[in-house]
Amino acid sequence: MSRLLVVGTVAYDSIETPFGKVDNVLGGSALHFTSAASFFTDVGIVATVGKDFDLNDISYLKERNVDMSGIRAEEGKTFRWEGRYGYDLNQAITLKTELNVIEKFKPVIPDTFKDAEFVFLANIDPELQTHVIGQIKRPLALVLDTMNFWIENKFQALMEVISKVDMLVINEAELREISKEHNLVKGARKIMEKGPQCIVAKRGEYGVLMVKGDEIFLCPAYPLEDVFDPTGAGDTFAGGFMGYLSNVGEVTSETIKQAIIMGSLMASFNVEDFSVNRLKGLGYDEIKERYHSFRKCVEFGDIKFR
C-alpha cells in the first residue's frame, strides 16, 4: 500500500537561466513532488508518459520505494515544457508547451493506490482532479494545486474540485486570482468558505503563509545565496509537505506547520540545481543539517518590555 498518492505530470523540460541551459531533462509536477516526498514516506505516482520516456531515468525513485505502477506509457511523445528565467528568478517565461500524451490523459487510479491515506492532486485540469476523487477512498488529507490557466479557463470546474478538498497548496498570485482579494489572509478566508479547512500560499523567495481557521502561520524561505533554477520548487515544496504529513500520520495545526517547514527546506534544495538533480543525490543528513541551520535563522529570544 502506498501511503501517499500523487496524480500529476511527468515531463521533459528545456530550461534556460542566467546560470546555464539544459535540454530535455526530467521534470513535471509528479516527478518533482515524488523526488521530495520519497524521503519521508511510501509514494505512488499516477501519470502518463510517451513511448519515448525511459523509466531507467527515474530508477533513483525505485530505490526510495516509490511505486511506479501507475505511470502509463501511451502512444506518442512525453509532455514537454520549454522555459526561460531572467535574473529575477521569480517568474518563468514559457517558450513552448508540447502537451503530447497529456492531451488525452485520463488518470486511472490502480486499486492498490485507492486507499492512500494522503493524496496530492498536482496541477492538472480540474475536471480530471474531480475524476480522481471519484475513484479513491476518503484520505486523511486531500490536497490540491492548480494554475492560472485553469482559474482563467475552467473556473467553475476548479471551484467544484476546491469544494471537495481539505487543503489548497497554491501560489500567492493564484490565491489572489481565485479569491479576487489582494490581501492573502482575506483571500484565504474567502476560499475556506467554499470547503477547504486550510490554505497554504507559496510566496517563492519570501516563504509561505498558511491560514487554517483563525490560525495563521508564517514560514520564511531558507535564505540561499545561489538560486540556480526555480523550476519545480512549488511541487518540491508540496512533496516535502505531504511526505512529512504522511510520515507523521496525523493532520493537526502543529504537524501542518512542521510540514510547511519541511516543504520549504526541500524546495530550497531543489532550486540549487537543474531538474531533479539536487534531490536525486540528496542525503537525509543534509536535510537534518539544513533544518538546524534554518532554525538559527528564525529563532529569537523573548522581547523585553519595559
Binding site for its own copies (CB under 8 A): 40, 87-88, 182-186, 203, 206-207, 209, 215-221, 223-227, 244, 247-248, 254, 257-258, 261-262, 284, 287-288, 291, 296-298, 300-306
Q: Is 263 in contact with 233 (CB distance < 8 Å)? A: no
Minimum CB distance to its own copies smaller for 154 or for 189:
189
Our CA dihedral for 277, 280, 28, 92, rounded to 10 degrees, sits at -30
- Minimum CB separation from its own copies for residue 220, in Å? 4
Residue type, 66: V
Minimum CB distance to its own copies smaller for 12 or for 244:
244
Reading across the β-sheet that carries 79-85, which strands appear in turn? Answer: 20-27, 11-17, 79-85, 92-98
- Minimum CB separation from its own copies for residue 17, in Å? 12
- Minimum CB separation from its own copies for residue 260, in Å? 8
Question: How is 3-65 classified by DSSP, letter by letter?
Answer: SEEEE---EEEEEEETTEEEEEEEE-HHHHHHHHHTTTS-EEEEEEEETT--GGGGHHHHTTT
- Minimum CB separation from its own copies for residue 186, in Å? 5
- Minimum CB separation from its own copies for residue 87, in Å? 5
- Minimum CB separation from its own copies for residue 276, in Å? 21
Minimum CB distance to its own copies smaller for 54 or for 303:
303
Q: In whole angstroms, how far apart are CA 58 and each of 117, 161, 301?
A: 24, 30, 45
Query: Hey, which residues does 93 pair with through a beta bridge?
Result: 84
Minimum CB distance to its own copies smaller for 163 or for 293:
293
Minimum CB distance to its own copies smaller for 41 or for 275:
41
Cα(260)–Cα(209) distance, rounded to whole angstroms? 9
**What angle do the packed helices 253-270 and 233-248 form, to 10 degrees?**
140
Minimum CB distance to its own copies smaller for 72 or for 257:
257
Q: Closest Cα partner for 68 from 76, 59, 77, 80?
A: 59
